[in-house]
Chain A
């Protein structure tokens, strides 16, 4: 079994790894820039390779990234297509090929950067009513407003509903420390990206001092090699991982296993590419991730190109059961949305 060609349909963003069999591996969500970089830097490695030599390919692409200054996203997209291909070739859903842990994933709802405290409270309450298992804000109104949001939200949703705060790297250490005390008092489930992911010393200070778990590394470059340095120093309580910013499915599995070895959770960011399909399979194959991250009830999108979009209902997403990542494409729609094939 050999990989024979790499094609990307644009602007629809479908990467196809074709083989000398009928079977292809896919990844959706590919930009023109990424598609060109794949052809420029990776083509030589991929053409003629056995798609089951995934680890050899991963190692080689990591090596090439250093020389060609390729962002992790590019490698991540290729890795996703390789896993899709392996699943289809073995007639197994990707999470079962890895080794399944669960079929059904509890979901929390991510909300936006809203104006007033009362809007956050309403958003949290609505998430609870809609059946989500938790609510995460992206409040960028400063630590004092956020402290008010935390108190009012906890008051409104009661003790048994998970609340998380994602600061997207906006605080100084003293601000994060002060707010972290309040989040701890309000039993927040985690406090995400309080500082820059690079600020190892600051993160460690917070992790040592605060009761609320510190979650970080969603944006950190360096895949497993940088995550290990943060984990090994106990500079976070929870690591974050996602495709494609941190690499591919292989990167996420390695990061999750690294975290597991240290008794840490690896909370997967479910936004990114492929409308939840990739993240559902990864969370389905690991124990140390609590939730799937969703934005609203119903379809996770991708129509009309994706014929079987994932859906959030009853607070859950089901892991797709088809071979590979389980995406069913409408080829008519793919062609309609294709102006050029690279």
Chain B
């Protein structure tokens, strides 16, 4: 591992910058918190871009060994191609959310100080630090701590507006998350008991397919599934994501659920590559397929816009789990496997952009109308054309219409499932696309309909925020311009873990 990696301080900077910023915000208090964010967001974006550029240019993993203590005694941080891509997407979405949230969570001069801006900006940076810690963590216990930080930052964001429903949603989210975290912890201690290390690279060489590793892997996976809201543990997600304020929903749906998904992949592909057999992979993807169908059908039945989008997240998260049978059953070097690998991650990135844009647009629509009942959206496209366009463009990516990131993702997944003869996943992908088309068209159709008597915007909507939503939606579309082939960047750092396992 060490021969194909270079030492770099960048991964630790990616975690420490937002974490330090968060603490500074608590120190300076509500009046200056916005200005601090104005400095910190671009700085964090620059660090993420630097990591991405370094991994891209050098073609191997960046490593930072904390305190100079080598694993297994110490803790390492590793940024491989996947971490670099995740960090960049995270940084872009967080910065866009910051721009979008600026007017909503600002502290006007001369007015009495409000608590919401301070809490929002602190939590935004906390989520950022935790996500960066999740993607570069190389030690299972360290990842546990990162995952908890992520949950503790995400739960209060749900309850930020303080309404009774949102507090109930936050509490339900937290109870699911507690079950998930303790389940993950049991798995961690079992692995430590069996193999004496928690470092992912060392584990990948030591783990053997035996009962204790199976139990540990199942417990950790169940825990992480509860936090990812995969069917059947998705019940907490719709009220929580729909109840949060719009910028919060955008971050929660676009990024936070992906953090725990990322760990499931780390666990099965990197920490225990020998354990991923066909049955386990089919089971995970089966749950994913059920999530796609059930989530889409429930989305169709919603009468409120934000709940529709939240159920769509349940469905779109299901696609991610198709990566297990399609990329995991064959060797990593096989073309079908690397196609599915790229497709799965493209789905994650494009969904992040599309869903953030959708929640932003829905937030603006709800702000203008004072409600988000789909039946009463008639003619909103005339009042808020930019927001409606952002929603529609994001919807195109969710459906998988070219050119969009969603199209690339679903096309690659389809291709991989046909190449491997697992045609049943292809059927699910296509059906999910049709259902997504249906629920997006319900909303867009209503928005474009001739104005009824009911539509009269009650509040003005900032043009700048509309443009941010549109830009994020365009990001989802522009992802469709990446070459339609397996990405080499996402493979960086993957093969040497496998080489290590084979040694």
A and B: real partners? no
A residues with CB within 8 A of B: none
